[in-house]
Each structure stands twice: as C-alpha cells, then as structure tokens.
Amino acid sequence: MRLVCHGGALPGSRMSSPRDAAPIHGRSAFCRYYGSEFINQSLYDYCRQGGITFTRSRAWKKNDSAHVEQKNGAVVRQLIGYDRFASQAAYAQLRRVYRLARLHVNFFQPVQKLVSKHRDGARVRRVYDRAQTPYQRLGASGILSPATRVDLEALYQRLNPLRLRRELDAELDRLWALAAPDPHRQSTTETATPSAPSSLRGSQTTPPVTLNYELMRTGG
C-alpha cells in the first residue's frame, strides 16, 4: 500500500501488508503524527480493513512524541535545516543523505541520557549518564541476538568516521541545491545596506554586507 496524503501519494512510501505495522501489546498498531497530511480516510480505511489499531498523538501535545520531537530538532533540523524539498530529485537525494546520516549518528554521535533531576530552590539540578553512541547503548541492552551483534560489529569496523562525514557533507551540498523556492523569502541571500548620513558621505555608496544563508545555517 502506498501511503496517501492530501496532496497525493507520498513518493516511495509503501506498507506492503498489515504485518509491517509495529506490534504494541501483541497487536498490530499504526501510530501516526497528528498532522492532517498523514491522517486521512484512505489510511484509516486501510488500517480498519487490515485489523490494525490506528492511533495518533494529540495536537499541540509534543510530549506525546517526546523522543521523536527531540530527534527531529537535534538530528533532522540541525542536519537538513528548514528548506522545502518537493521534487522527486530532492526526495532521492534525501534518501542518500539519510543513508549516510543513519550511520554517522548511530555509530559515531554519543549522547547523554537524563538519569534524574530535582529542584533545589530556583535551580533545577540534572544528572546525566555517561555519553554513549546509540550503537553502544544497543549493544549494552542485552536484546541483540549473537548473529545480529556480529553483523553490527562488522559494519562498525568497516566504517571510517572521517570519510563518512565528508561523504555526508558532499551529499548535503547536493541536497541544498535542490531546495524549492520559499514564497515567504525572496532568496537565500539577505543583503543589508547600512544607511549613511548624506552630510558625511555625500554621493558615495556604501557596499552592501552580504550574509549567505547557508553559511549562517551551518556555522561557517
């Protein structure tokens, strides 16, 4: 089944059978974000016919999807930015970016988890655990089969973090070139021209100060 949004089918989005849905408490369940672009009658009818429990998070309740919301900001927005990508070419390029980002984030980006927090007067004190990569946390969880553990270890040993980051940066440059024009922004370059008192400068023009949007976004 191809997932359908209000604007048409999502490219490349397929769910071949009800078995593709995630099991929750022994039952197949399909949980969607509350956005109307994903919740529609076609998807609801498909879930009902396949015996899939259709759930959704509540509007304006970001803690319903706290982990998703956190990674949306810490990974997706930090990496991709806020440009709009609407073409098939951009979709294909996004897949290439995420293929590399998945390896880079899961194997080489350690994160800390909040262990506890308590309030001491006006100050909130937070305690975090030791920073680990998602790959390390998964290995320490004890839920992997021996075969899966061997496969992941072999994949980790094949990866070169520096080369992986260079490839990711190159794919991001290709992706940003495919961004759709934003109707609310004239261009990706903002030009600020300081106004000079005419009594001091006369007819002399002040060269504009150009701030490149991509450099500002990537911290260059």
3-state SS assignment for residue 127 = strand
- What pLDDT, on the 0 to 100 scale, is given for residue 197? 43
- What pLDDT, on the 0 to 100 scale, is given for residue 159? 96
Q: Which two tokens stand for residue 181?
A: 């024009």
Residues 6 or more apart whose CB falls under 8 angstroms from that of 33 comprise 56, 57, 65, 68
- What pLDDT, on the 0 to 100 scale, is given for residue 14? 52
- What pLDDT, on the 0 to 100 scale, is given for residue 52? 78
- What pLDDT, on the 0 to 100 scale, is given for residue 182? 73
- What pLDDT, on the 0 to 100 scale, is given for residue 105? 94
Number of CB atoms found within 10 A of residue 190's CB: 14
Q: Could you tell me the pTM of the whole model? A: 0.61
Tens digit of pLDDT per residue, the chain (220 long)? 444 444 444 444 455 554 454 444 444 455 555 556 666 777 778 878 878 776 666 767 767 766 777 788 888 889 998 888 989 999 999 999 999 999 999 999 999 998 999 999 999 999 999 999 999 999 999 999 999 999 999 999 999 999 999 999 999 999 999 998 877 765 544 544 444 444 444 444 444 444 444 444 444 4
CB of 34 within 8 A of CB of 56?
Answer: yes
Strand duo 27-32 + 53-56: pairing: parallel
User: What does the alpha-carbon distance between residue 213 and residue 18 come to, in Å, rounded to a whole number?
Assistant: 44
